[in-house]
Structure 1
Amino acid sequence: MSEIFLNEEELMLQNTVQEFSLSKIAPRASHFDQNEKFPSENFHDIATLGLLGLEISPKYGGSGGTARQQSIVVEQLARACAATSTIYIAHLSLCCRFISMYGSENQKKEILPGLVSGSNVGAFALTESVSGSDAAGMITTLRPQKNGFIINGSKTYITNAVEASTIVVMATIDPKLRSKGVNALIVDSKSPGITINPIHGKMGIRASSIAEIVFENVFVPKENLISNESNGFKDTMNVLNASRISIAAQCVGIAQSAYDAALDYTQNRKAFGQNLSEFQGIQWKLADIATEIEAARLLTLEAASLRDSKKPFIKQASMAKLFGSRIAVKSANTALQIHGGLGYISPTPVERYYRDAKITEIYEGSSEIQKLIIARNILSTAK
Structure 2
Amino acid sequence: MIRDRNALDTLLSEVNTWVRTVAHPAEDQVAAEDRIPDAIVSDMAKRGYFGWSIPEEYGGLGLTTEELILAAFELSQCAVAFRARVGTNTGIGSEALVADGTEEQKSTYLPLLASGAMTGSFALTEAEAGSDASALTTSARRDGDDYILDGRKCYITNAPIADLFTVMARTDPDTPGARGVSAFIVRRDSPGLETSPPYKMMGQAGSPVGEVLLDSVRVPARNLIGGVEGQGFRTAMKVLNKQRIHLAALCTGPAIRMLDMAMDHAETRRQSGQAIIDFQLVAALLADCRTEIEAARALILQTARARDDGQDIALEASICKYFASEACGRIADRCVQVFGGAGYVANYSSIERYYRDVRLFRLYEGTSQIHQLNIVRQMRKRPRA
Same-fold call, TM > 0.5? yes
Residue aligning to 2:223: 224
CA contact (8 A) 1:87 1:159 kept: no
Identify unmatched segments of 5+ residues in structure 2.
none
CA contact (8 A) 2:89 2:114 kept: no
Once the two structures are superposed, what CA deviation does each residue of 1:159-193 show, in whole Å capped at 9, x if it has no partner? Answer: 11111111111100227522111110100111111
CA contact (8 A) 1:39 1:84 kept: no
CA contact (8 A) 2:151 2:214 kept: yes
Aligned residue type for 1:190: D
SS at match of 1:80: coil
Measure how far apart 1:42 and its partner are.
3.6
SS at match of 2:169: strand
CA contact (8 A) 1:161 1:210 kept: yes
Residue aligning to 2:65: 67
The 1:103–1:39 alpha-carbon spacing in structure 2 relative to 1, beyond 3 Å, is farther
Residue aligning to 1:360: 361
CA contact (8 A) 2:160 2:198 kept: no
Once the two structures are superposed, what CA deviation does each residue of 1:88-107 show, in whole Å capped at 9, x if it has no partner? Answer: 22222111111111111111
Aligned residue type for 1:288: D
Name which of 22, 32, 35 aligns with 1:34: 32
CA contact (8 A) 1:91 1:160 kept: no
Where in structure 2 are the equivalents of 1:1-383 lying within 5 Å? 7-173=5-171, 174=173, 177-227=176-226, 228-347=228-347, 348-383=349-384
Aligned residue type for 1:14: L
The 1:77–1:175 alpha-carbon spacing in structure 2 relative to 1, beyond 3 Å, is farther
The 1:10–1:291 alpha-carbon spacing in structure 2 relative to 1, beyond 3 Å, is farther
SS at match of 2:211: strand
CA distance in 2, matches of 1:40, 1:17: 19
Measure how far apart 1:53 and its partner are.
1.9
Measure how far apart 1:44 and its partner are.
2.2
CA distance in 2, matches of 1:330, 1:93: 25
Normalised by the length of structure 2, the TM-score is 0.94
SS at match of 1:198: coil
Aligned residue type for 1:131: A
Once the two structures are superposed, what CA deviation does each residue of 1:50-86 show, in whole Å capped at 9, x if it has no partner? Answer: 2222232221111212111111222222111212222
Measure how far apart 1:8 and its partner are.
4.0
Normalised by the length of structure 1, the TM-score is 0.95
SS at match of 2:229: coil
The 1:37–1:219 alpha-carbon spacing in structure 2 relative to 1, beyond 3 Å, is same
Aligned residue type for 1:138: L
CA distance in 1, matches of 2:268, 2:174: 59
SS at match of 2:176: helix
User: How many residue pairs align between the two structures?
Assistant: 378
SS at match of 2:89: helix
Aligned residue type for 1:248: A
CA distance in 1, matches of 2:230, 2:220: 19
CA distance in 1, matches of 2:38, 2:250: 19
SS at match of 1:277: helix
Query: Among the aligned pairs, what percent are the same residue?
Result: 34
Identify unmatched segments of 5+ residues in structure 1.
1-5
SS at match of 1:25: helix
SS at match of 1:127: coil
Measure how far apart 1:295 and its partner are.
0.5
Cα RMSD (Å): 1.6
Range moving further from structure 2, 89-98 or 37-46: 37-46
CA distance in 2, matches of 1:340, 1:115: 43
CA distance in 1, matches of 2:174, 2:217: 18
CA distance in 2, matches of 1:176, 1:98: 22
Aligned residue type for 1:11: D
Aligned residue type for 1:216: D
Measure how far apart 1:211 and its partner are.
1.1
Once the two structures are superposed, what CA deviation does each residue of 1:254-282 show, in whole Å capped at 9, x if it has no partner? Answer: 11111111000000000111110110101
Aligned residue type for 1:209: P
Measure how far apart 1:382 and its partner are.
4.1
CA distance in 2, matches of 1:117, 1:325: 29
CA distance in 2, matches of 1:186, 1:122: 10
